[in-house]
């Protein structure tokens, strides 16, 4: 098929549609059903539903169940941080970003399917599938994000980035509703208990991810260059990161923005990853079914996030990217303060609504703002986005490790309170980001 021109509506829609395909991982595996499932099989309760023990043995050591999953998550993000420059450098050099994007997509999807066999008897296998699914998801995003400046002009990037996130939220909510219906009405679907439909949800996630991504792959170009693979290529990604690091010394807008992004993203991503675990451990659900309540709150986040991404796009067009990001970070600070005090499901729903409002906005606007700060005419965009993604992932490693340590020593509440400092520093740094280039690019 003949390559579509940059800025083509069909090409932009095909790119954005990958969010529809892969966001089911974020919702079903990272946020909703798997965390609840993990809590159910690792927490021992009495006949009245009171928690007796949440300790699991892994590799000969006892861990709090929340601490264990946070450390596994941090280890996976650390692996992604290493793989991103290695593979994105190769992809940009040989001109086949699409191949690597597919590889990580299929790795993640198959690993999601593997979670069907998760059990405490074979904990290592379940955690390995969780580990590889996370690597597959985030690894594919390195190449997906790097396509943005290749397929869209600067004045299109905010809109199409927000559209991608919106499609992702809508698609993932559809699948989550299907999974929720199977779990809550398992007898209607012919299932004897809710264990099978919960596990089958992981299979559906993998199949959805693989199936819908084919539309994106059909239209996306291979990449920028067509050069032969040499021995030097293996470490070309790290050389590119070093080159970007040197460029940042003379690029104050990009350097200041990346520092701010690193700090506030550390808190955003960690909170999003541990939100459901917080609901399981810290709330008094009373007579309310916690599984239903938690999934409803996650659905609320996703639905409100569609509105949040749209409002953020409109706000950035009117007030500018940086002022909008500053306001969003301030809202996050308020959310963290309120989350520290909540004890009831209703309070959790209120928090979820506000999280959804700013979650999609801060993600889409951060991505498009960075894209605008890339020097005009730069060809090796994958290297720039690899640097962006490595910064984000290292931040998550620090955030999840910090959360795991604080949760083990005290409680999740104190970890949430600790993240206020990251948002505050992010706000301060954003005030010092020069806005001239963003305005010129727009």
> Running along the chain, 442 residues long, what does each successive block of 10 average in pLDDT?
71 86 87 82 61 67 77 88 74 72 93 91 88 91 80 76 80 87 82 83 94 89 62 68 78 84 87 77 69 76 77 82 89 89 84 82 80 72 75 84 78 79 89 64 47
Among 264, 358, 272, 266, residue whose Cα is nearest residue 312: 358
- Cβ atoms 118, 41 nearer than 8 A: yes
**Which residues lie below 8 Å from residue 273, measured CB to CB, with a gap of 6+?**
30, 31, 73, 396, 400
Q: What pLDDT score was predicted for residue 94?
A: 61
The owner of tokens 């639905």 is 303
Q: Is residue 276 part of a domain?
A: yes
Is position 64 within any domain?
A: yes
Other beta carbons within 10 Å of 237:
26
Question: How much is the pLDDT for 440?
Answer: 46
- Please tell me the predicted confidence (pLDDT) of residue 345: 82
Q: Is 187 domain-assigned? A: yes
* Per-residue model confidence (pLDDT) at position 124: 86
Domain that holds residue 82: 9-220+241-441
CA angle 303, 395, 275 (to 5 degrees): 35
Give pLDDT, residue 220. Answer: 83
Please state the separation of Cα 266 from the chain's center in Å: 11
**pLDDT at site 373:** 80
Please report whether residue 236 resides in a domain. no
What is the per-residue pLDDT for 183? 85
- Check if the beta carbon of residue 366 is closer than 8 Å to that of residue 233: no
d(CA 378, CA 254): 14
Could you give the C-alpha distances from 413 to 52, 283, 329, 347, 409, in angstroms and in order? Answer: 20, 11, 19, 14, 11
Please say whether the beta carbons of 118 and 434 come within 8 A.
no
Within a domain: 227: no
Query: At 58, which CATH number?
Result: 1.20.1250.20
Q: How many structural domains is the chain composed of?
A: 1
Q: Are 223 and 147 in contact (CB under 8 A)?
A: no
For 342, phi and psi rounded to 5 degrees? Answer: -75, 145
Q: What SS3 class is residue 442? A: coil
pLDDT of residue 249: 78
pLDDT at 45: 58
Kind and range of the H or E run holding 57: strand 55-58
């Amino acid at each position: 098929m003949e390559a579509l021109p940059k800025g083509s509506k069909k090409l932009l829609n095909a790119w954005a549609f990958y969010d529809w395909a892969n966001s089911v991982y974020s919702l079903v595996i990272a946020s909703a059903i798997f965390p609840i499932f993990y809590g159910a099989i690792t927490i021992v309760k009495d006949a009245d539903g009171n928690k007796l023990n949440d300790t699991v043995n892994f590799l000969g050591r006892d861990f709090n169940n929340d601490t264990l999953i946070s450390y596994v998550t941090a280890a996976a993000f650390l692996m992604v941080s290493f793989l991103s420059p290695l593979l994105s450098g190769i992809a940009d050099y040989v001109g086949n970003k699409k191949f690597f994007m597919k590889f990580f997509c299929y790795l993640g999807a198959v690993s999601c399917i593997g979670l069907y066999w998760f059990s405490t008897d074979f904990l290592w296998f379940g955690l390995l599938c969780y580990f590889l699914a996370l690597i597959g998801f985030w690894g594919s995003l390195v190449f997906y994000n790097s396509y943005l400046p290749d397929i869209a002009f600067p004045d299109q990037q905010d809109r199409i980035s927000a559209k991608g996130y919106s499609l992702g939220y809508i698609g993932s909510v559809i699948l989550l509703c299907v999974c929720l219906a199977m779990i809550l009405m398992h007898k209607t679907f012919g299932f004897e208990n809710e264990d099978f439909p919960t596990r089958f949800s992981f299979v559906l996630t993998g199949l959805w991810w693989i199936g819908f991504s084919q539309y994106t792959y059909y239209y996306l170009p291979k990449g920028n260059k067509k050069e032969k693979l040499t021995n030097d290529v293996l470490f070309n990604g790290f050389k590119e990161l070093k080159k970007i690091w040197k460029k940042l010394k003379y690029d104050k807008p990009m350097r200041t923005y990346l520092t701010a992004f690193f700090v506030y993203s550390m808190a955003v991503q960690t909170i999003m990853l541990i939100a459901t675990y917080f609901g399981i451990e810290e709330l008094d659900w009373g007579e309310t079914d916690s599984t239903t309540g938690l999934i409803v709150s996650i659905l609320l986040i996703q639905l409100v996030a569609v509105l949040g991404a749209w409002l953020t796009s409109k706000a950035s067009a009117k007030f500018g990217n940086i002022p909008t990001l500053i306001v969003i970070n301030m809202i996050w600070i308020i959310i963290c303060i309120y989350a520290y005090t909540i004890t009831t499901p209703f309070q959790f729903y209120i928090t979820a609504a506000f999280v959804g409002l700013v979650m999609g906005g801060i993600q889409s606007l951060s991505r498009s703002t960075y894209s605008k700060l890339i020097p005009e005419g730069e060809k090796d965009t994958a290297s720039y986005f690899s640097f962006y993604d490595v910064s984000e992932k290292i931040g998550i490693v620090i955030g999840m490790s910090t959360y795991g340590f604080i949760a083990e020593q005290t409680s999740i509440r104190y970890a949430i309170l600790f993240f206020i400092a990251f948002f505050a520093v992010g706000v301060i740094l954003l005030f010092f980001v020069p806005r001239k280039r963003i305005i010129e690019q727009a």
